[in-house]
Amino acid sequence: MLTQKVAKSSYKVQHIAESDNGGGALKAAHKLHTSLSALGVDSQMLVADKRTSDPNSSQLKLNLGFFAKRRRRRLARRQKQNLKQYRMTRSEKLEIFTHGMGIFGWDLVSQLPKADAYFLHWSDRLIDYKSLFSQIPPDIPVLWRMPDMNAMTGGCHYAWDCKRYSQNCGRCPQLGSTIDKDLSRKVFHHKQLAYEKRNPNLTCFVAPSRWLANQAQKSSLLRDFEIAHIPTGVDSNTFKPTNKGSTLSRHGLPTEVPLLLFAAQSVTNYRKGFDLVISALRGMSEPDKVALVALGDVASNLDLPSNCYAIGQVESSTELAALYSAADIFVHPAREDNLPNVVLEAMSCGTPCVSFDVGGLPELIQNGENGLLVERGNAKALLNGIEDLLTNSELQKRMSKNCRDTVLREFREEVMALRYHDLLNTLLERAENLRSGIEY
């Protein structure tokens, strides 16, 4: 619970997201919604897939009429065909590519709740950029929490080493395209036309990491808009160090060897780098003297070592905190990432992390102080980092304390909520001034 409250707000904010639970981006969306509610804001959430019992979160009611169903089918089929043409050329790095034309977009705008401000979050099916920004009045503030780079690109969610989003996309390396006017250029143009409908003074894109904020400032799509930096917060009262004994027995985990923990919505997602953890594990001189625990969806045909325990999805935050606490090291070998919830949660539980030096990770991990950062994609460096921590109990103990201290000092949920609250009030004040004829 938040420790600091502000006066009850007289305005309503509406969050729009794919779901109110699921992967890190969706959990973060719901966390922001509930945090603002705890500050006295009338906060409501509208989602394509409701997964919580939150009474202030509602699932979009789809139009079941013949023409509405046909429109959704046609749009879904067209998007599938758009991507199919790149099936032989697309990069292994391409985990997801979205069109910015959600198949439920028309359903959303036909029943969009009135609000004093809108918060946009990750959503593939709900948000159609062009129709949504045509529907939201230009004098109503919009805050877009960016969990990744998609708001600034022509479809990809992480651009890797590509910088074409700083111009107008095209020749997309993730699609394996060699032409300018490819799918990424068309999606980029669709977003461009939509953004032109917004007042830059009342539209703010919020980056959880300074890294993402820097990428957004280079984007030609977002160059006219305000880019704010508000780090993701973690519930430090739930995610806290606990005794590991009962957790190990509850999940059938070994008690006689150190535990490495890996967590991702999809364990086999190339970007998350689970293959590099397995490579590091197999490179150990005595791999049987350590155990690896994998949290998340695991493909049934994945060849796992005998000392790897695949637990699957864990929905309970309390149980997640117990598993983080039971681990000796949290391993996060993501090849690209923003400011991952899983690392924040592990650190809040006092579990040091070995991670690649990418994205927003250096903003969480001070190398050698509360974890270790190693070269991106280097399984050998990952192995060395893991072994360095496993063989130095004093370093591990010091890092554990520093992890918890870092979260309490910089990444508490309460701090995040207050920063968003201040930003929201600033935009609402601008909107009121605009209506009163005060120009900027």
* Model pLDDT, residue 435: 87
Domain ranges across the chain:
12-233+413-435, 245-410
pLDDT of 8 higher than 50: no
7 falls in which pLDDT band (50, 70, 90)? Answer: very low
Of 100-109, 302-311, 322-331, where does mean pLDDT reach its minimum?
A: 302-311
Q: What is the mean pLDDT of residues 27-52?
A: 96
pLDDT of 288 higher than 90: no
Output 268 or 172, whichever has higher pLDDT.
Answer: 172
Output 8 or 110, whichever has higher pLDDT.
Answer: 110
Query: Mean pLDDT of all residues in the chain?
Result: 94
Q: What is the mean pLDDT of residues 141-145?
A: 98
For residues 398 and 351, give the distance between their C-alpha atoms in angstroms, rounded to a whole number.
Answer: 11
Of 20-24, 140-144, 420-424, where does mean pLDDT reach its minimum?
A: 20-24
**Amino acid at the residue 217:** Q
Beta-bridge mates of residue 58: 46
| CATH topology match: 12-233+413-435 vs 245-410 | yes
Question: What percent of the chain is modeled with pLDDT above 70?
Answer: 98
Task: Count the residues in the chain.
Answer: 440
Name the DSSP class of 8.
Answer: P
- Prediction pTM value: 0.94
Name the DSSP class of 101.
Answer: B
Supply angle C-alpha 107, 108, 113, rounded to 5: 130
CA contacts within 13 A on the Cβ side of 203: 20
Write the CB contacts of 316 (distance below 8 Å, at least 6 apart in sequence): none
165 falls in which pLDDT band (50, 70, 90)? Answer: very high
Name the CATH superfamily housing domain 245-410. Answer: Glycogen Phosphorylase B; (3.40.50.2000)
Question: What percent of the chain is modeled with pLDDT above 90?
Answer: 87
**Amino acid at the residue 119:** F
* Model pLDDT, residue 2: 45
The string of pLDDT tens digits covering residues 382-411 is: 999 999 999 999 999 999 999 999 999 999
Phi, psi of 263 (to 5 degrees): -140, 135
Supply angle C-alpha 15, 21, 23, rounded to 5: 110
CB 34 within 8 A of CB 55: no
Class of domain 12-233+413-435: alpha beta
* Model pLDDT, residue 397: 95
301 falls in which pLDDT band (50, 70, 90)? Answer: confident
For residue 11, give both structure tokens. Answer: 């305005």
* Model pLDDT, residue 439: 65
Output 24 or 126, whichever has higher pLDDT.
Answer: 126
* Model pLDDT, residue 268: 87
* Model pLDDT, residue 440: 57
At residue 14, the 3 state secondary structure works out as strand
Write the CB contacts of 92 (distance below 8 Å, at least 6 apart in sequence): 270
DSSP 395-430: HHHHHHHHHHHHHHHH-BHHHHHHHHHHHHHHHHHH
